[in-house]
Amino acid sequence: MIEAVGLTKRYGDKTAVYNLSFQVRPGSVTGFLGPNGSGKSTTMRMILGLDNPSSGQVTIGGYPYRKLPNAPRQVGALLDAKAVHGGRHARNHLLCLAQLSGIPARRVDEVLGVVGLQDVAKKRSKGFSLGMGQRLGIAAALLGDPQVLLFDEPVNGLDPEGILWVRNLMKSLAAEGRTVFVSSHLMSEMAVTADHLIVIGRGQLLADMSVRDFISHNSADFARVRTPETEPQQREKLTAALTEAGGQVLPEQDGALRVMGLPLPRISDLAHSADVRLWELSPHQASLEEAYMRMTQGAVDYRSTIDQRAGLQQELPPGAMPPPQMPVPGQGQPGWYAPPPPQQGGQPFAMPQAQPPAGPPAGPYGAPAGPGAGEPNPYAQPAGAAPAAAPAQPSSAAPDLTKPEEAR
């Protein structure tokens, strides 16, 4: 198991990771998500002892990486597939790594076969495509047959067959009881690969829950209803009937209606009573991508001005408050982020930040918050500045909604 407690990393004035606490458990694939620059790679580097935390700690099986006995046999990682000596043959590259860790040479040939590079084993890696480089990096991660595996963007550059292969590899490694921690920006892939998600934004924890809970907490299911296009009055009649029955009705771009708050049989009955014919009545469940976009909207640092002009951001369902902008250090915004799950009537979905101590502050796991919690929050609101929206309750007063069981 990987465990981070109050993990914080500063580079000069820049706080890349702030007071991050989470656990990555064995036996499942844990996805690590967050917008560009949110601190995923920095966190992974700290897990692997490549960067020292400014405060807090992270351990693997109870030890900091650098104190793990025979670490390369226990932990494998793909961080940067380009970080290889390009002049070396693929096999020689792996052989060097194996010799450094006391791994027998036959294991090199085994992993070359596992990643499908056996035919180019004698080729210099500088001639490798992006996808081949990724495969070589994955081979290196698997070399020591480790129980704990970290992959930073493993499907980057892979073709569809390679993506499917990585998906199955991750799942089978987890099914063998290993700890698999994988970052990716490919939401469709994460939806079918990961069991659990850790989501960060601007270095802070936004969510720590199963994929299923993440989607249901950050999106609303709805029904799509379509009436005959030739009879617009039927659409209006249905809209009135559904609204009167307590449904929330929004027009879809293609002329259909998006209905929230009413089950499908009720919509059907209401249409029947109003003498409205339906051409479509279908359930719709939000995708991981939709849920992720909703949750992280306020924590995105780099966004195209063209996207904004074209209105490509997610449309909010009725009744939902727009997510507040996540605080930026030095801009006097509150030290918390609260995207609203629509099914909870727009109540903020909050990750409480460390509060001024009135007793030992609670961390996300019920334990006292880590060392970073005692430090000044770089995202904290200066005295006198008004919060942009109703603040989340301190963790002692409110359930920790990053934990699905406590959120119910």
Ligand X SMILES: Nc1ncnc2c1ncn2[C@@H]1O[C@H](COP(=O)(O)OP(=O)(O)OP(=O)(O)O)[C@@H](O)[C@H]1O
Site of interaction with ligand X (CB under 6 A): 11, 14, 16, 34, 36-42
For 80, other C-beta atoms within 10 Å of its C-beta total: 13
Minimum distance of ligand X from residue 266's CB (angstroms)? 43
Compute the residue count for the chain: 408
- Listed residue (264, 275, 261) closest to 225, CA to CA: 264
Minimum distance of ligand X from residue 152's CB (angstroms)? 7
- Listed residue (366, 346, 370) closest to 406, CA to CA: 366
User: Which stretches of 298-343 are DSSP H helices?
Assistant: 305-309
Minimum distance of ligand X from residue 372's CB (angstroms)? 16
Beta strands in 128-254 (DSSP E): 148-152, 179-183, 196-201, 204-210, 222-226, 248-251
Minimum distance of ligand X from residue 204's CB (angstroms)? 12
In the complex with ligand X, which residue's Cβ is closer, 208 or 400?
A: 208
In the complex with ligand X, which residue's Cβ is closer, 47 or 174?
A: 47
Minimum distance of ligand X from residue 43's CB (angstroms)? 7
Q: What is the dihedral of CA 297, 299, 305, 306, to 10 degrees?
A: -40
In the complex with ligand X, which residue's Cβ is closer, 37 or 387?
A: 37
In the complex with ligand X, which residue's Cβ is closer, 16 or 98?
A: 16
CA pair distance 201, 205, nearest whole angstrom: 7
- Listed residue (223, 225, 245, 224) closest to 235, CA to CA: 225
Is residue 261 within 8 A of residue 296, CB to CB? The reply is: no
Letter string b/e over residues 358-368, b meaning 16 or more CB atoms within 10 A of that residue's CB? eeebbbbbeeb
In the complex with ligand X, which residue's Cβ is closer, 12 or 382?
A: 12
Strand partners, 280: 226
Is residue 154 within 8 A of residue 138, CB to CB? The reply is: yes
In the complex with ligand X, which residue's Cβ is closer, 6 or 203?
A: 203
Minimum distance of ligand X from residue 42's CB (angstroms)? 3
In the complex with ligand X, which residue's Cβ is closer, 14 or 212?
A: 14
Minimum distance of ligand X from residue 138's CB (angstroms)? 18
